[in-house]
Amino acid sequence: MFPESSKLENQTVITMFILLGLSNNPYIQDFFLFLFMIIFLVTIMGNILIILVIKSELHLQTPMFFFLSHLAFVDICYSSVTVPKMLANFLTKQKTISWEGCIVQIYFTFQTACTEIFILSAMGYDRYMAICDPLHYSRYLTREICNKMVVGAWSLGFFHSMVNALPLLNLRFCSNNIIRHYACELPSLLPLSCTDTLSNYIILLISLSAISLSSFLITLVSYIYIISAVLKINSAEGRQKAFSTCSSHLIVVGLYYFTGGFCYMKPRSESFMDLDKVISIQYSILTPMLNPIIYSLKNKEIISAVEKLFRKVRPILYPRNNILRF
């Protein structure tokens, strides 16, 4: 009477998955271990440095740097979701992850990614207010409003991740437990299920479309007004200065949207599996590392604040040199 359910009951339910990773060659794996360990350390140290510099300097207590410090914190969390497990798998023969661990990884990937998208949108709005309406900048971007925007970003990330992670508890995996990826990502996991996943794909498509379009429209509208205002500036030096304050943000947004959107919004295909892994490295591993570098190189205030911080801690790090100087 119930042939499909009886068939599922007779099959072994999988509770452990194998992550194929980036390569099976042990020499290449050793190289990747070293490479991604360096990237992870640079990511953590670079973003912590950004947070410390912004917190330590009074002249950096502005909405722009407030959002930048929160972006740095989200990047630390985002990178920590997948990289430590990937590094651990490079050291072991059995590159496995439990079903529970897979759900947790998917949940926090959605949480941090969505939060980062809306913090970037908040930074775009901040640039709009600074350039297009500077007289009301401090009125409309108070610390209370900025805090609410950050809380809103985290809340939307929580909702987005719960909507996509909770339905996974109803899925069953009976035969194929090999994930052709270095991490548990929803588009790579769903094809392995022996139960119907149509509703999961619909939820993923709707939630991603809503999150991506809303955040993208905020950023797009902000920059339409910014470009219009900058083009009205008479001096070339003034235009260049205005564009330079936005270029870092535009680079980060471009890297994030195009790579993430390509992996999640394109049709699934076996021929794109390897390309998906390469592109996902960009938005989930390289982008959190590049963000502090991009903002530091393009922002003179950050550079001077970092130099000032190093001058403060240098006597602590090199006490002998300090003694010899006297």
| CB atoms closer than 10 angstroms to residue 102 | 22
pLDDT, one tens digit per residue, over 73-129 is: 999 999 999 999 989 888 887 788 888 899 999 999 999 999 999 998 998 899 888
Instruction: Give percent of the chain above pLDDT 90.
Output: 25
Which residue would you say has higher pLDDT here, 86 or 297? 86
Separation CA 249–CA 295 (nearest Å): 8
Number of H helices, E strands in the chain: 13, 3
SS3 307: helix
Question: Among 16-20, 80-84, 168-172, 230-234, which is the least confidently predicted range?
Answer: 230-234
Separation CA 96–CA 61 (nearest Å): 44
Q: Which of 242, 243, 253, 262 minimizes the C-alpha distance to 217?
A: 253
Token pair in block for residue 79: 């990178």
Q: Is the pLDDT of residue 233 over 80?
A: no
Q: Is the pLDDT of residue 257 over 80?
A: no
DSSP 270-283: GGGHHHHHHHHHII
Token pair in block for residue 172: 């069953």
Backbone φ, ψ for residue 172 (5° rounding)? -125, 145
SS3 169: helix
SS3 114: helix
The band of 314, judged by pLDDT with boundaries at 50, 70 and 90, is low
Residue 162 to residues 109, 167, 170, 292, Cα–Cα distance (Å): 11, 9, 14, 29
**Judging by DSSP bridges, how do beta strands 178-179 and 16-19 pair with one another?**
parallel
Q: Is the pLDDT of residue 52 over 80?
A: yes
Which residue would you say has higher pLDDT here, 257 or 196? 196
The band of 5, judged by pLDDT with boundaries at 50, 70 and 90, is very low
Determine the pLDDT at residue 323: 47
- Whether the CB-CB separation of 179 and 19 falls below 8 Å is answered with yes
**Judging by DSSP bridges, how do beta strands 16-19 and 96-98 pair with one another?**
antiparallel
Q: Please give the average per-residue pLDDT across 185-204, as a whole number.
A: 87
Determine the pLDDT at residue 295: 74
Token pair in block for residue 191: 């094809």
Q: Is the pLDDT of residue 298 over 70?
A: no
Separation CA 312–CA 25 (nearest Å): 46
Which DSSP symbol is given to 167?
A: G
The band of 12, judged by pLDDT with boundaries at 50, 70 and 90, is low
Q: Nearest 5 degrees, angle CA 105-CA 30-CA 14?
A: 35
Separation CA 101–CA 22 (nearest Å): 19
The 178-179 sheet, strands edge to edge? 96-98, 16-19, 178-179
pLDDT, one tens digit per residue, over 131-143 is: 888 888 888 889 9
